[in-house]
Amino acid sequence: MSYAENKPLQIAIDGPAGAGKSSVAKVLARRLGCIYLDTGAMYRAVTWLALQKQVAFDDMDGIKDLLQTIELEFKDVDGMQHLYCNGTDVTEAIRTPEISANVSAVSMIPQVREAMTAQQQKIAAGSDVLMDGRDIGTTVLPNARYKFFLTASLEERARRRALELEQKGIAVDMEQLIADIALRDKKDSEREVSPLKQAEDAVLIDTSSLTFDEVVENLFMRIKK
Ligand code: DC
């Protein structure tokens, strides 16, 4: 529990794809001693399961069945956070370009958002938490004590994503990657339910010309103040 109030500490980090939210959030959560929740991973896992079970994204009965049976669990494995979907470790499987290309379509389904938001709020009710995503400051944790909106230029975000993919041995076509990220941002920003949007009370941080350590330090100092 946080020292300042008797309520659990809530920190929201939102922003477009590839702005560095998850890497920053992981380190920051460790330094602050709170739980880190990667909400994008949850939407990716729903997408993975729908593709595995061959449920079409417009098959609402099929999607509802999926949501009724899906069990998502974050577990620590050798100091790394892994995500299990119905008992299967999907940590790597949810990072493929195929999942990235389909996740916006799944995350615009209102029933999917409702189910994920409920799970996220339940976790935040009992523990100090730092969540990253698209709608944390606006919808999931509207009363979060700290809200940040991390962004960076499209080219810089694509460059960072390319590095991540290359480190995993996934071949990258830079032009295609830029187009894919731009399209995902557009879909995430234009959807009807809980679109990607900066909360009015969120601090905007453009990370284009900042190093990773500078971003972590920036957020850490604002929280400690
Ligand atoms: O953070 P990420 O790139 O892993 O997120 C994958 C997708 O999940 C993103 O394109 C939109 C969706 N998402 C969402 O709609 N709401 C969130 N809170 C987090 C992610």
The answer to which of 18-22, 117-121, 131-135 has the lowest mean pLDDT is 18-22
Q: Which atom of ligand 1 is nearest to the CA of 21?
A: 1
More confident residue, 12 or 18: 12
Interior angle at CA 134, CA 131 and CA 137, nearest 5: 60
Alpha-carbon span 174 to 161, nearest angstrom = 10
Alpha-carbon span 216 to 105, nearest angstrom = 31
The alpha carbon of 38 and the centre of ligand 1 are apart by a number of angstroms equal to 9
Residue 153 included in any domain:
yes
Whether 168 and 96 have beta carbons less than 8 Å apart is answered as: no
Number of domain units in the chain: 1
pLDDT at position 194, please?
94
Residue 144 included in any domain:
yes
Q: How confident is the model at residue 225 (pLDDT cuts 50, 70, 90)?
A: confident
The alpha carbon of 213 and the centre of ligand 1 are apart by a number of angstroms equal to 23
Whether 112 and 43 have beta carbons less than 8 Å apart is answered as: yes
Q: Which atom of ligand 1 is nearest to the CA of 184?
A: 10
Contacts of 59 (CB under 8 A, 6+ apart): none
Q: Which atom of ligand 1 is nearest to the CA of 107?
A: 15
pLDDT above 90 coverage of the chain, percent: 88
Residue 170 included in any domain:
yes
- Going by alpha carbons, the residue nearest to atom 14 of ligand 1 is 134
- Going by alpha carbons, the residue nearest to atom 6 of ligand 1 is 40
Among 134, 139, 190, 196, residue to substitute to test ligand 1 (most atoms within 8 Å of Cβ): 134
Residue 225 included in any domain:
no
Handedness of CA 56, 57, 59, 65 (dihedral sign): positive
Beta pairing, strands 72-77 & 80-85: antiparallel
- pLDDT tens-digit map of 167-207: 888 889 999 999 999 999 999 999 999 999 999 999 999 99
The alpha carbon of 3 and the centre of ligand 1 are apart by a number of angstroms equal to 31
The alpha carbon of 41 and the centre of ligand 1 are apart by a number of angstroms equal to 7
Residue 101 included in any domain:
yes
Residue 40 included in any domain:
yes
Domain span including residue 51: 7-219
Q: Which atom of ligand 1 is nearest to the CA of 94?
A: 4
Q: Which atom of ligand 1 is nearest to the CA of 108?
A: 15
The alpha carbon of 40 and the centre of ligand 1 are apart by a number of angstroms equal to 4
Alpha-carbon span 207 to 148, nearest angstrom = 12
Residue 188 included in any domain:
yes
CATH of the domain at 211: 3.40.50.300
Alpha-carbon span 153 to 156, nearest angstrom = 5
- pLDDT tens-digit map of 88-116: 999 999 998 899 999 999 999 999 999 99
The alpha carbon of 217 and the centre of ligand 1 are apart by a number of angstroms equal to 24
Q: How confident is the model at residue 6 (pLDDT cuts 50, 70, 90)?
A: low
| Averaged pLDDT of the chain | 94
- Going by alpha carbons, the residue nearest to atom 16 of ligand 1 is 134
Residue 2 included in any domain:
no
